[in-house]
């Protein structure tokens, strides 16, 4: 009884400590990446990207009510939802560690008494292990934002704790209720994230060990095999094939029996329920206990999984955010299978330089069409001339082949081998994309710059100079910017050492329990690496995927206290040894982790994701159409419109989604205060499987062709407007890239599309060369908007949209801050002129009166997703605008602008490209008399360049081409600052820039740029 009271009390205290810290450091508004989509969707019960997280959304909706209707506080309270889940995760971790620690002393006899010293050590191990994990880098990051990973971690913690509860009570009459409980939590967790299912093999091993008096290698392997089979049954059978069978039942009932959509799926559900009921009754009648447990567990898994009903129910309501529109059995199946994202090869696949040798028709893709399901298309299956088992270097997309060759040291035409495949697997996928993250959490982290293999970015460190020098080199040349970087965290291997001691000690004391923890560690770590088969150049760090593995290792950190106590007891009194072990564990675990990690995990000052979205919208005129592209462009935009109700007159259009038929169809409907897009295309002409992509084939048409005629040709079903393939199929083609659009000047002037001073520059006809070799639904939609809009609604692209998505309209895009506006003007730009025209007056007004900057100038810590934008702010938004104001004689405005930049931009330098981007702004600063401010920035940036170049040279001994790229940025920056200092009368700074140039003069002479 005393044990239980202390165990419960200390567990809740650890949870409270962690939660309080998380609340202190939680993000006050929306964060980057998926958070904006999740918050917006949770508030209004909308559909997020595949495969959805319905239970997470519903629970977060509960937390949104704590905002009491204040839209600006909804994100905060949903973030608090994550902190609560994370705090509860620490609670269950504490109880897990104490349960495992107690078993070392009492075995399965859960009621056996502990001595006071044993009780102290068990509780100390729980506190130290739980709080160490609470303040690790990866878990803390997810704990303070509205993302699925905090709730997913809670599910994992509850399930692993639950199997230990069953184990302690396995001989009780009603012990199996814990297995049912675990099944239910697993079913619920599917509605959050699938990571929790990876605990199943460890659960199988616990059950085997508890029910077997004497374990054997064959028995262990058999139980593991059963665990993996159960994992597969749930992952593929329950989650996917149950829906697949339901879909094909629906296909039969709809197409063969003439029933309505959903009737067949309902019949299938009734048959499954009836079968389960019959099976349960049969198992009771026949006394088949294992069958009974299996069937009841299946029922509870399905009951938890039923949270996905929310997806179909809400999809039928057609909410604003309705990703994939999964309103029928087949679209729902596609949604769950994440078919939008494609598959990575796991067992057999191509090399990245392989060439296709053939194509076969793959599985049928069905769509709802009228009152039937029809085959929309067949997914092609390709064969290749070079394939391998266990493919790891397979992607030909997005610069991946070049990265593979650079990483593996392959020549331009050198063919990769299976050995290269394994080298990439062990070196990059295991080492870089798992081992590096593991050591981030328990040894230390160099900085938060996303690492793609560079020695100066994102590596793990320890804080022990000789070791870090051997790992990275250049520690004697470490720049001040690195030494003072809040994200530089050094743990001196202490959490790692304690965890390893705990693991070895655990295997020595209770090999079975240690094997279970080890299996959890493997399946939530290395097994995920095997399954994900990640390509290089990921858009963000992926450490969150391995939080379960770090959770398992933290169990051993806690048990490391027992290991240290046992070792010290050989030297000193046992009680002294116990207290000393606890003191060592506290300092080397929770204390060093929170001390090192607090500053770069405190997000309480961050607002940039929200402010950036507001700036995008504030750059737009009323009733605008705003094209965006990436996650960090779009999700915050969805958030500020759907949650805060900000500028809902602007229609946000994500170009990467617009190529999907369901999204194009949604864009043709009014949303909030924004009208439907003037696409004016019959959805039947662009439904799934129809004109998914239209390829370009040059028909040598003389001159430019009106856009509206090209759209008509591409949408035409007349065989005369199509080309016949060898298969006999007729397909639409884009016959020319030379496009034109007649401009109605009166409409342009009446709708105030261009500034009054620019009306003389309005062209009669816009002409451009289309920039792509294909037309997807996205480009078809944009061309149709051009043809139908007649300048009634302003058209914008976010400044971060890749140029390829402009379709060749670059010369007609005018900057108005954070967005480029389409204007039918021609200023006769020549080579050497700015690439983009700027509406300086409008941009100046936006900067001075509308834009906000996410507290960049005052925040004590700026995350990498935020500081990546600084170069754009100082170089494009501020720098180019200031230059043009100065060129037009607006000196007073230029002065106010540069002062605004000085006040709002950070007072430290983060990246070499950022240092270089300051030069245009600094030129204006000197010219308008803000010399002191300019000197401060130049001095800071020259020091940054000088120190970082010395560091790059020191680490480039490793011959990393990535490091030489950093040096090239530095050399370009040196040259720009020398040119700047040659122009201004600042002798000391000119001397510094000259000296810096001379140090690296030989690179310029060698043509290193």
pLDDT in tens, 727-757: 778 899 999 999 999 999 999 999 999 999 9
Residue 795 CB: number of other CB atoms within 10 A?
Answer: 25
Confidence of residue 521 (pLDDT cuts 50, 70, 90): very high
Dist CA 216 CA 222 (whole Å) = 10
CA torsion through residues 187, 192, 196, 198, sign: positive
If asked whether residues 222 and 304 sit together in one domain, one would say yes
If asked whether residues 199 and 111 sit together in one domain, one would say yes
Stronger pLDDT, 109 or 795, i.e. the higher one: 795
The DSSP bridge pattern shows strands 837-838 and 774-776 to be unpaired
Q: Report yes or no on 355 lying in a domain.
A: yes
Confidence of residue 830 (pLDDT cuts 50, 70, 90): low
If asked whether residues 43 and 121 sit together in one domain, one would say yes
If asked whether residues 221 and 357 sit together in one domain, one would say no
Domain limit, last residue, from 354, 374, 393: 393
Q: Report yes or no on 606 lying in a domain.
A: no
Q: Report yes or no on 721 lying in a domain.
A: no
If asked whether residues 274 and 349 sit together in one domain, one would say no
The average pLDDT across 432-454 equals 92
Lowest mean pLDDT among 362-371, 784-793, 827-836: 827-836
The average pLDDT across 249-274 equals 94
314 to 319, 320, 352: CA distances (angstroms): 7, 10, 41
- The pair of structure tokens assigned to 786 is 């051009």
Output the pLDDT for position 82: 97
Output the pLDDT for position 1: 58
Output the pLDDT for position 541: 93
If asked whether residues 256 and 131 sit together in one domain, one would say yes
If asked whether residues 538 and 592 sit together in one domain, one would say yes
Q: Does 1009 score more than 60 pLDDT?
A: no
Of the candidates 846, 849, 845, 903, the one whose C-alpha atom is nearest the C-alpha of residue 874 is 903
Domain that holds residue 370: 345-393
> Residue 411 in 3-state DSSP?
coil
Confidence of residue 111 (pLDDT cuts 50, 70, 90): confident
Q: Report yes or no on 592 lying in a domain.
A: yes
Confidence of residue 362 (pLDDT cuts 50, 70, 90): confident
Q: Report yes or no on 434 lying in a domain.
A: no
Confidence of residue 1008 (pLDDT cuts 50, 70, 90): very low
Tell me the β-bridge partners of 741: 766
Q: Does 781 score more than 90 pLDDT?
A: yes
Output the pLDDT for position 498: 97
Q: Does 791 score more than 80 pLDDT?
A: yes
If asked whether residues 74 and 213 sit together in one domain, one would say yes
Output the pLDDT for position 954: 86
Domain limit, last residue, from 551, 577, 601: 601
If asked whether residues 388 and 244 sit together in one domain, one would say no
pTM above 0.85, yes or no: yes
The average pLDDT across 314-329 equals 93
The DSSP bridge pattern shows strands 693-696 and 774-776 to be antiparallel
pLDDT in tens, 134-158: 999 999 999 999 999 999 999 999 9
> Residue 797 in 3-state DSSP?
strand
Mean pLDDT over each residue of the chain, to the nearest integer: 93
Output the pLDDT for position 959: 53
If asked whether residues 229 and 93 sit together in one domain, one would say yes
If asked whether residues 195 and 98 sit together in one domain, one would say yes
Confidence of residue 832 (pLDDT cuts 50, 70, 90): low
Of the candidates 146, 151, 148, the one whose C-alpha atom is nearest the C-alpha of residue 39 is 146
Output the pLDDT for position 835: 59
Domain limit, last residue, from 335, 360, 393: 393
Q: Does 961 score more than 70 pLDDT?
A: no
pLDDT in tens, 839-891: 999 999 999 999 999 999 999 999 999 999 999 999 999 999 999 999 999 99
Tell me the β-bridge partners of 155: none
Q: Does 372 score more than 90 pLDDT?
A: yes
- The pair of structure tokens assigned to 433 is 């994309």
Output the pLDDT for position 380: 87
Q: How many helices (H) and strands (E) does the chain have?
A: 43, 19
pLDDT in tens, 900-949: 999 999 999 999 989 999 999 999 999 999 999 999 999 999 999 999 99
> Residue 393 in 3-state DSSP?
coil
- The pair of structure tokens assigned to 67 is 């905002």
Contact at 8 Å (CB) between 458 and 405?
no
Q: Report yes or no on 665 lying in a domain.
A: no
Q: Report yes or no on 793 lying in a domain.
A: no
If asked whether residues 300 and 362 sit together in one domain, one would say no
Dist CA 565 CA 102 (whole Å) = 15
Output the pLDDT for position 787: 95
The average pLDDT across 406-427 equals 93
As for how many domains the chain has, the answer is 2
Confidence of residue 491 (pLDDT cuts 50, 70, 90): very high
Contact at 8 Å (CB) between 818 and 851?
yes
Q: Report yes or no on 623 lying in a domain.
A: no
Of the candidates 8, 177, 39, the one whose C-alpha atom is nearest the C-alpha of residue 641 is 39
pLDDT in tens, 48-98: 999 989 999 999 999 999 999 999 999 999 999 999 999 999 999 999 999
């Amino acid at each position: 009884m005393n044990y239980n009271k202390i165990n419960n009390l200390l567990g809740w205290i650890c949870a409270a400590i962690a939660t309080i810290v998380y609340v202190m450091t939680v993000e006050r508004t929306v964060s980057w990446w998926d958070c904006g989509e999740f918050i917006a969707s949770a508030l209004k019960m909308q559909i997020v990207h595949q495969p959805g997280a319905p239970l997470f959304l519903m629970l977060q909706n509960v937390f949104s009510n704590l905002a009491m209707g204040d839209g600006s506080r909804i994100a905060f309270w949903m973030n608090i939802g994550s902190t609560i889940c994370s705090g509860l995760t620490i609670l269950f971790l504490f109880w897990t560690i104490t349960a495992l620690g107690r078993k070392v002393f009492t075995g399965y006899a859960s009621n056996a008494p502990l001595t006071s010293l044993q009780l102290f050590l068990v509780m100390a191990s729980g506190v130290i292990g739980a709080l160490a994990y609470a303040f690790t880098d990866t878990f803390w990051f997810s704990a303070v934002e509205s993302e699925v990973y905090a709730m997913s971690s809670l599910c994992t913690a509850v399930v692993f704790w639950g199997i230990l509860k069953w184990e302690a009570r396995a001989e009780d009459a009603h012990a199996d209720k814990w297995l049912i409980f675990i099944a239910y939590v697993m079913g619920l967790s599917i509605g959050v994230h699938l990571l929790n299912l990876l605990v199943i093999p460890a659960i199988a091993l616990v059950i085997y060990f508890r029910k077997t008096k004497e374990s054997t290698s064959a028995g262990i392997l058999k139980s593991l095999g059963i665990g993996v089979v159960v994992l597969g049954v749930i992952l593929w059978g329950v989650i996917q094939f149950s829906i697949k069978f339901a879909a094909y039942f629906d296909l039969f009932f709809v197409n063969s029996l003439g029933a309505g959509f959903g009737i067949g799926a309902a019949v299938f559900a009734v048959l499954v329920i009836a079968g389960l009921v019959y099976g349960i009754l049969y198992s009771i009648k026949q006394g088949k206990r294992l069958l009974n447990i299996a069937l009841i567990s299946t029922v509870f898994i399905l009951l938890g999984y039923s949270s996905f009903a929310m997806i179909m129910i809400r999809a039928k309501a057609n909410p604003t955010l309705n990703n994939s529109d999964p309103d029928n059995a087949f679209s729902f199946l596609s949604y769950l299978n994440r078919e939008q994202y494609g598959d990575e090869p796991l067992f057999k696949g191509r090399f990245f330089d392989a060439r296709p040798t053939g194509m076969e028709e793959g599985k049928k893709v069905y769509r709802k069409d009228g009152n039937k399901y029809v085959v929309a298309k067949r997914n092609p299956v390709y064969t290749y001339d070079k394939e391998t088992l266990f493919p790891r270097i397979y992607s030909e997309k997005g610069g991946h082949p070049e990265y593979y060759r650079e990483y593996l040291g392959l020549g331009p035409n050198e063919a990769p081998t299976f050995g290269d495949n394994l080298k990439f697997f062990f070196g990059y996928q295991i080492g870089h994309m798992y081992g590096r993250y593991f050591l981030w959490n328990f040894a230390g982290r160099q900085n938060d710059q996303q690492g793609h293999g560079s020695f100066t970015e994102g590596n793990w460190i320890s804080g022990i100079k000789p070791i870090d020098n051997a790992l990275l080199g250049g520690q004697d040349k470490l720049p001040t910017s690195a030494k003072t970087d809040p994200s530089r965290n050094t743990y001196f291997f202490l959490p790692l050492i304690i965890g390893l001691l705990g693991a070895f000690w655990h295997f020595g004391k209770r090999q079975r329990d240690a094997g279970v923890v080890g299996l959890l560690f493997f399946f939530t770590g290395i097994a995920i690496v095997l399954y994900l088969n990640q390509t290089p150049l990921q858009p963000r760090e992926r450490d969150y995927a391995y939080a379960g593995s770090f959770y398992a290792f933290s169990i051993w950190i806690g048990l490391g206290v027992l290991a240290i106590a046992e070792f010290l007891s050989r030297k000193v009194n046992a009680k002294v040894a116990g207290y000393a072990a606890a003191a060592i564990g506290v300092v080397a675990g929770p204390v060093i982790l929170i001390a090192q990690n607090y500053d770069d995990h405190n997000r309480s000052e961050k607002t940039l994701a929200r402010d950036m979205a507001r700036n995008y919208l504030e750059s737009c005129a009323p009733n605008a159409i705003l094209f965006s592209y990436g996650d960090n462009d779009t999700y915050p935009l969805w958030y500020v419109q759907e949650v805060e109700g900000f500028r809902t007159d602007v229609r946000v259009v994500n170009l990467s989604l617009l190529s999907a038929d369901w999204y194009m169809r949604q864009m043709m409907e009014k949303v909030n205060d924004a009208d439907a897009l003037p696409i004016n295309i019959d959805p039947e002409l662009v439904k799934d499987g129809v004109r998914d992509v239209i390829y370009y084939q040059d028909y040598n048409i003389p001159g430019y062709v009106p856009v509206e005629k090209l759209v008509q040709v591409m949408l035409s079903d007349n065989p005369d407007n199509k080309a016949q393939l060898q298969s006999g199929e007729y397909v639409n083609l884009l016959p020319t890239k030379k496009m034109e659009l007649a401009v109605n000047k009166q409409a342009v002037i009446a709708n105030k599309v261009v500034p009054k001073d620019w009306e003389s520059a309005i062209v009669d006809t816009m002409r451009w060369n289309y920039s792509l070799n294909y037309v997807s639904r996205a480009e078809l939609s944009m061309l149709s908007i051009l043809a139908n809009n007649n300048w009634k609604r302003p058209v914008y692209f976010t400044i971060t949209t890749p140029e390829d998505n402009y379709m060749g309209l670059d010369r007609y895009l005018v900057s108005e801050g954070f967005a480029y506006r389409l204007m039918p003007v021609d200023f006769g730009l020549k080579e050497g002129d700015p690439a983009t025209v700027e509406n300086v007056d409008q941009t100046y007004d936006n900067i001075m009166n509308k834009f906000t900057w996410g507290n960049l100038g005052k925040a004590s810590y700026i995350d990498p997703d935020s500081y990546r934008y600084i170069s754009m702010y100082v170089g494009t938004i501020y720098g180019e605008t200031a230059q043009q104001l100065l060129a037009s004689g607006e000196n007073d405005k230029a002065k106010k602008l540069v002062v605004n930049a000085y006040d709002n931009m950070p007072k430290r330098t983060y990246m070499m490209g950022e240092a270089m981007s300051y030069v245009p702004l600094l030129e204006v600063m000197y010219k308008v008399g803000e010399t002191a401010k300019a000197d401060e920035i130049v001095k800071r940036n020259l020091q940054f360049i000088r120190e970082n170049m010395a560091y790059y040279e020191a680490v480039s001994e490793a011959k990393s081409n990535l490091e030489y790229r950093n040096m090239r940025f530095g050399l370009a920056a040196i040259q720009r600052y020398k040119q700047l200092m040659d122009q201004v009368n600042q002798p000391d700074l000119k001397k510094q820039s000259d000296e810096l140039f001379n140090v690296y003069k030989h690179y310029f002479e060698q043509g290193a740029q």
